[in-house]
Structure formats: structure tokens, C-alpha cells
């Protein structure tokens, strides 16, 4: 089976036991059968178990994704069942809305404090003319505010507000009133502290339950958790909450193909029931409600952002380690670096999309 594995990896110029940083070193000979029969899920789990090593996982994934090796290995019966189930079952239905909060965002504020920038922005930074992560994230927040054309006194709905970074920034810099919603209890605890004394309200609430109307709606890094079966309902919720002359900015990771589920390893260990939308899926559900004003792609900046998070995570591991074991450390590194490789290879995209409501008198000029 080693020969078969090497023949597949040859297409990406990856060697077993090679000397390049993207080559892999196998510690357990059972690795080959496990991965050839279990696909990407087994690849990640065997790394977590220490069955193989790679000096530069980001470079490894960049190479195998460019070579489309993820298409070469037949999916297991378990994966085929999950694919079929995702087509039938609404995995992101309202009763499941808080699972992602519990499984990912509630695992420890100290982890995120040490990994992220000083404002705790957990989404792609805007690195144009930025010297470090803190500046790149501030530039991203300001870019969003400028694209929304915020003015003092406006009301803003922040769907998926995280730890309140954008809500806090928009209120302080632009004088708006923000309502931020999250499905994470831990995020709300810290967001309340970060936004204390400001014109910001943080709620634990599903987007489907918001009924007020706002001058602006923004959603950063949350649409990936909505799911194709709910895209239309999500847009209807935004349409209901947005005033007739309002603007809506959607910041989301996207994919080149329309899919019903994410990579099985990411689904199991990092973002349960997440799906990366395609451009077609987004525009088709917006049709009839929203006019497309601007579409900005800067996915190459997510590679830079993830590598900065990776450096922070590892350089500050001594501050984080008390709450986690070695298997978690390997899992988290794998997560950050497989994602970096995904953006570097062009498999994943990062889009900021601005919509106005159909019938609006808004004359929008794009901001860069």
C-alpha cells in the first residue's frame, strides 16, 4: 500500500520520507491502509494520533489540493452516507443552531485571546499596507464600515458578532448603535465586557428570531454555518430586518463548487455541519430580494491570516496548554494549516459582498 500511496502523492511532488518541508514522514506502517480506505478524515485523525509528520503542513496541503488529490481517493461508505444524509436532513435547522457555539466557540476564551489579534477578530484580515495582524484586522473592520457607509446614529445588526470586535469598532469609530447576535455563551460573556459602556447590545439569539428593523445589516464569518437548505430563509430574515434604503454586507468564505457539506475531518473536529457556499448559491437565494452592488475577493489574505494565528498559537502554547492536551495541539495545528493550504491553492475563497434592497434609491460606489 505504500507504493500506491506514493504513486498518488507523486502527482503533487510529495515524497514519503523525503527531505522537502512538504514531504511526509510515516511513523506507523498502518498509515497507508488507514488513509487509502478512510480518505481525508483518516488523514487528519492519523496525524492527530502521531502516525505521520510533516514539517510544513500548509505547503503539503497547498500541493495536494492544487493537484486535486482530494478527488483521487474513493470516499468511504461512512462518508457516502454522510453526503446522502446532508442532502436529505437539514443539519443547520433551528434546533441545531447552538451546536457550533458549544463545539467550537465555547472551547475557551483564553485560547482565542492568545491566538487572535488584540481586538479578537476571528475572520480574514485585510493585509493591504498592514505591517502586522493587529493593523490588518483594524483595516478589515474599517473597510467593512466604509463599505456599509455608516453614519452616526444609524442602527446596525451584526449577525454572528463573535466577541464583539466589529460591534465595538463601529460604535466607537462611527457612532452607530449595534445589536450583535451570537450562538456562543462564552462569546457573549467576553463581548459584554469588551463593549461595556458602549451603544452595543449583545444577544444569544438565532438569526431567524430577530424581528427589529435596522439601517444596516452585516454578517462576518457566520454564513458558513447557515447551510444550503437555509440560505433562502437567511436572506429572507435579512430582508425582513433591513430598512428599504439599507445596505447588507456579507463576509464569507466561499468555494468554487456548490456543495452540501464541508471536508469530513473539518466537519467532525472543527466546524460541525459547516458548508462553504458557492457564488451561484449566494446569488440565486438573493435574487428577488437584493441587488448586488459589490463583490470583493481577497482570499489570499486568509492564508496570511491563518499563518499569523498559527504562529501565535504555537508561540503562546505555554499560556494555553493547561486546558488542552497534546492531541488537541496537533488537531488545532492541522486545522489552521489545512485551511491555509486551502486558501493558498485557490480551493477556498473569501468574499465581501454588498447588497442593497431591490427598489432602493441607493447609488452605491465600491470601496477598496
Specify the pLDDT at position 273: 87
Q: Which of 25-39, 96-110, 128-142, 201-215 has the lowest mean pLDDT?
A: 96-110
126 and 68 together in one domain: no
175 and 296 together in one domain: yes
Residue 98 or 299, more confident: 299
pLDDT classification of 92: cutoffs 50, 70, 90: low
Q: Which of 74, 107, 135 is the last residue of a domain?
A: 74
- Domain assignment present for residue 67? The answer is yes
- Domain assignment present for residue 85? The answer is no
Specify the pLDDT at position 80: 42
Specify the pLDDT at position 99: 85
> 145, 161, 241, 339: which is the annotated catalytic residue?
339
- Domain assignment present for residue 363? The answer is no
121 and 55 together in one domain: no
pLDDT classification of 93: cutoffs 50, 70, 90: low
339 as an active site residue: the answer is yes
- Beta-carbon contacts of residue 326 (< 8 Å; ≥ 6 apart): none
| Tally of domains in the chain | 2
- Domain assignment present for residue 291? The answer is yes
Q: Which domain holds residue 34?
A: 2-74
Q: Which of 43-52, 92-101, 117-126, 319-328 has the lowest mean pLDDT?
A: 92-101
Query: Is the pLDDT assigned to residue 183 strictly greater than 60?
Result: yes
Specify the pLDDT at position 260: 83
117 and 189 together in one domain: yes
161 and 270 together in one domain: yes
* Mean per-residue pLDDT over the chain, rounded: 93
40 and 126 together in one domain: no
68 and 111 together in one domain: no
Phi then psi for residue 85, to 5 deg, are -65, -40
Phi then psi for residue 247, to 5 deg, are -125, 145
- Domain assignment present for residue 87? The answer is no
For residues 356-365, average pLDDT: 92
Q: Which of 40, 74, 108 is the last residue of a domain?
A: 74
Q: Specify the CATH number for the domain of residue 143.
A: 3.40.50.150
41 and 173 together in one domain: no
135 and 50 together in one domain: no
Specify the pLDDT at position 94: 59
> How crowded is residue 351: how many other Cβ atoms within 10 Å of its Cβ?
19
**Are 273 and 99 contacting, i.e. CB atoms less than 8 angstroms apart?**
yes
- Domain assignment present for residue 83? The answer is no
267 and 326 together in one domain: yes
- Domain assignment present for residue 91? The answer is no
68 and 113 together in one domain: no
Q: Which of 74, 109, 133 is the last residue of a domain?
A: 74
Nearest 10 degrees: Cα torsion 182, 224, 80, 5: -120
- Domain assignment present for residue 89? The answer is no
pLDDT classification of 246: cutoffs 50, 70, 90: very high
133 and 32 together in one domain: no
The Cα–Cα gap between 332 and 349 comes to 21
Amino acid at each position: 500500500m505504500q507504493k500506491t500511496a506514493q504513486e498518488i502523492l507523486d502527482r503533487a511532488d510529495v515524497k514519503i520520507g523525503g527531505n522537502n518541508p512538504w514531504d511526509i514522514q510515516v511513523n506507523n506502517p498502518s498509515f497507508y491502509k488507514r488513509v487509502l480506505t478512510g480518505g481525508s478524515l483518516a488523514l487528519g485523525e492519523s496525524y492527530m494520533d502521531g502516525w505521520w509528520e510533516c514539517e510544513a503542513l500548509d505547503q503539503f496541503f497547498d500541493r495536494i489540493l492544487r493537484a486535486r488529490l482530494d478527488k483521487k481517493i474513493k470516499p468511504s461508505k461512512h462518508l457516502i452516507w454522510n453526503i446522502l444524509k446532508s442532502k436529505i436532513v437539514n443539519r443547520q435547522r433551528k434546533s441545531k443552531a447552538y451546536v457550533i457555539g458549544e463545539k467550537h466557540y465555547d472551547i475557551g476564551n483564553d485560547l482565542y485571546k492568545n491566538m487572535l489579534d488584540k481586538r479578537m477578530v476571528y475572520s480574514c484580515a485585510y493585509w493591504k499596507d498592514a505591517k502586522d495582524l493587529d493593523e490588518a484586522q483594524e483595516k478589515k473592520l474599517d473597510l467593512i464600515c466604509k463599505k456599509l457607509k455608516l453614519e452616526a446614529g444609524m442602527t446596525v445588526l451584526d449577525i454572528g458578532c463573535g466577541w464583539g470586535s466589529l460591534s465595538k469598532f463601529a460604535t466607537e469609530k462611527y457612532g452607530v448603535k449595534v445589536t450583535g447576535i451570537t450562538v456562543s455563551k462564552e462569546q457573549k460573556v467576553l463581548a459584554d465586557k469588551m463593549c461595556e459602556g458602549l451603544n452595543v447590545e449583545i444577544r444569544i439569539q438565532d438569526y431567524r428570531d430577530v424581528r427589529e428593523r435596522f439601517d444596516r445589516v452585516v454578517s462576518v464569518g457566520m454564513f458558513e454555518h447557515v447551510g444550503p437548505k437555509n440560505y433562502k430563509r437567511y436572506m429572507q430574515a435579512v430582508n425582513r430586518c433591513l430598512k428599504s434604503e439599507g445596505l447588507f454586507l456579507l463576509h464569507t468564505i466561499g468555494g468554487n463548487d456548490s456543495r452540501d457539506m464541508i471536508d469530513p475531518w473539518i466537519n467532525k473536529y472543527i466546524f460541525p455541519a459547516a458548508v462553504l457556499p458557492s457564488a451561484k448559491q449566494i446569488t440565486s437565494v438573493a435574487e428577488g430580494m437584493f441587488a448586488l452592488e459589490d463583490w470583493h475577493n481577497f482570499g489570499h489574505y486568509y492564508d496570511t491570516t491563518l499563518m499569523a494565528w498559527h504562529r501565535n498559537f504555537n508561540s503562546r502554547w505555554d499560556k494555553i496548554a493547561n486546558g488542552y492536551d497534546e492531541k488537541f495541539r496537533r488537531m488545532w495545528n492541522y486545522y489552521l494549516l489545512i485551511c491555509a493550504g486551502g486558501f493558498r491553492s485557490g480551493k477556498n475563497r473569501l468574499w465581501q459582498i454588498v447588497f442593497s434592497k431591490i427598489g432602493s434609491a441607493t447609488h452605491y460606489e465600491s470601496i477598496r
